[in-house]
Structure 1
Amino acid sequence: MDTLLLLKAAILGIVEGLTEFLPISSTGHLIVVGDLLGYTNAQSKVFKIVIQLAAILAVCWDYRARIETVLGGFPSDPGQRRFAGHILLAFLPAAVLGVMFHSTIKTYLFNPLTVAGALIVGGLVILYIEKRVYHPRYQSVDELPWQTALKVGFAQALAMFPGVSRAGATIMGGVVFGLSRKTATEFSFFLAIPTMFAATAYDLYKNWGLLHLSDLPVFAVGFVASFVSAMLAVKALLRYVSNHSFVVFAWYRIAFGLLVWASAYFGWVEWHAA
């Protein structure tokens, strides 16, 4: 097995795990870093699906107690049914629009320069939101009315554009719609579970012919790296949002996007479609 390829797998796994639940776009980072590493072949398409699955499994593990409570109480507990219903309702906009526009988005928007633009615009939006004063009405994910859950779901749908960030759209959308920072972040985590499982299943279905047993070592390295780094990122983000704004992520997005654009303008990097 190619040692360099395993190293690339580890790097991309760490990138996925660290960025999936931060408001900085994991897809955007994978497109940019994958291009820099020269890992944009057919195998890479399935590899990115595998490491995304690892990241969502990390959240499932971290919130396993709540997931067990929801599943166990679903038949008899109205509160758990209500919570599960709100998550599924928020999931629907991205699911419907994703099926409709998946191929178009993959064909025309998955390239580093487009991602850079979305990172910059998203960063400016975060700065705008953070400058406004919001008075949270909901301090727990269990308090949300279905209308608010659906609004957050439509905000998540914006993240179909690579570089926007699913976590960024849902967290900042949640803040605008009255959720506290911690509640918006937790709701984003829970909403990621059906969203990412569905996206993973759909992508695997579309790329099933690219799966090969010989790729197992590469996928295994990326999977473990993504799972571990995602676990660390989720815990760190929850601690961070308790006392901080998202301004630092906004400036990071803007700086990263401008750097990608500058590298193309001055010819430092020859970017390709991912």
Structure 2
Amino acid sequence: MEFYQAIIIAIIEGLTEYLPVSSTAHMIFTSSYYGIQDDPFVKLFQVSIQFGAILAVVALYWRKFFDFSRLNFYIKLACAVIPALVLGKLLDDPIDEMLGDPIPIAIVLIIGGVVLLFIENFFKNPTVFKEEDISIKKAVTIGFWQCLAMMPGTSRSAASIIGGMQQKLTREAAAEFSFFLAVPTMLAVTVYSIFLKGYGPENAEVKGYKLLMEADNLKLFLIGNVIAFVVAIIAIKGFIGIIKKYGFKPWGWYRIIVGAALLAYFVTNKA
């Protein structure tokens, strides 16, 4: 992976991680376009730079994350992340297989866009307006909704926001809780990807941290995380403003248009 490719992928991660458009899909499309998607380090890079995006949420909501008097907040996040941890481990290999083909991911991107166009028609009259009013049961239910994002192209943000709205959260409260839930979820994914997951052919698997130590890989990893952190802060602030004013329809149309364009591109180039 070239230096400029790492920068572009990191910018895409920062822009899309917390938007309901699937950061994974966008990074896979980009790396597939450059012809580097099968590179083991590229696969690690796409997951590990999510750490920078995680820190963006912690930086923006630091009062909430470091208010240790609010034990219930941490309990809710811990309970909500359990479904993703269990299912993520069980489905690790099938997920890896799906990540290799951008065509079904583009199709899922389009389907998710159609859902976002009409989602607010299904979940009306919310009763939960802030995180403090979310029960542990509601948090766990949202955690199960988040697991839908294990299908590449779905979007972790979209799945957890829809889950929040199904649990009677306002769209703003659902979006914020999705941000909070991303921290333990993506931290676990990053740690697993770096220290436990193997990359490469079955007879020559290399742990993620060993890949980071090769040549300029560590430099790309550090730069990628810094860029993802900065861009994610901007994206989060912009996203909240847009959903307050316009709801989810702009993101629905975006997913449909981009998904259709990418589907046409990859089908044409595969033929």
> What TM-score, normalized by structure 1, do the two folds share?
0.89
What is the letter of the counterpart of residue 53 of structure 2? A
The alpha carbon displacement at 1:25 in A equals: 0.3
1:201 pairs, out of 191, 195, 208, with 191
Counterpart CA distance in 2 for 1:164 and 1:153 is 15
Counterpart CA distance in 1 for 2:84 and 2:232 is 22
- Structure 1 partner of 2:31: 34
Counterpart CA distance in 2 for 1:109 and 1:39 is 13
SS in 2 for 1:179: coil
1:57-101 superposed Cα distances (whole Å, 9 cap, x missing partner): 1111111121111xx21xxxxxx2222111111111111100111
- Structure 2 partner of 1:252: 254
2:19 pairs, out of 18, 22, 25, with 22
2:130 is the counterpart of 1:120:
no
The answer on whether the counterparts of 2:76 and 2:140 sit within 8 Å (CA) in structure 1 is yes
The answer on whether the counterparts of 1:5 and 1:218 sit within 8 Å (CA) in structure 2 is no
Matches within 5 A, 1:80-229: 80-132=70-122, 134-205=124-195, 206=197, 207-214=208-215, 215-229=217-231
Counterpart CA distance in 2 for 1:83 and 1:217 is 35
The answer on whether the counterparts of 2:11 and 2:228 sit within 8 Å (CA) in structure 1 is yes
1:10-39 superposed Cα distances (whole Å, 9 cap, x missing partner): 110000000000000001111101111223
What is the letter of the counterpart of residue 65 of structure 2? I
- Large movers: runs of 4+ above 6 Å: none
Unpaired runs of at least 5, structure 1: 74-79
SS in 1 for 2:228: helix
1:172-224 superposed Cα distances (whole Å, 9 cap, x missing partner): 22112200111001100100010000011111121333222422232233222
Counterpart CA distance in 2 for 1:132 and 1:228 is 35
Identity %: 37
- Structure 2 partner of 1:58: 56
What is the letter of the counterpart of residue 180 of structure 1? T
> What TM-score, normalized by structure 2, do the two folds share?
0.90
Counterpart CA distance in 2 for 1:262 and 1:46 is 27
Aligned residues: 258
1:101–1:133 CA distance, 2 compared to 1 (3 A): closer
The answer on whether the counterparts of 2:102 and 2:266 sit within 8 Å (CA) in structure 1 is no
The answer on whether the counterparts of 2:105 and 2:153 sit within 8 Å (CA) in structure 1 is yes
The alpha carbon displacement at 1:270 in A equals: 4.2
SS in 1 for 2:2: helix
The alpha carbon displacement at 1:132 in A equals: 3.3
What is the letter of the counterpart of residue 211 of structure 1? L
Unpaired runs of at least 5, structure 2: 198-207
Counterpart CA distance in 1 for 2:141 and 2:227 is 33
What is the letter of the counterpart of residue 112 of structure 2? G
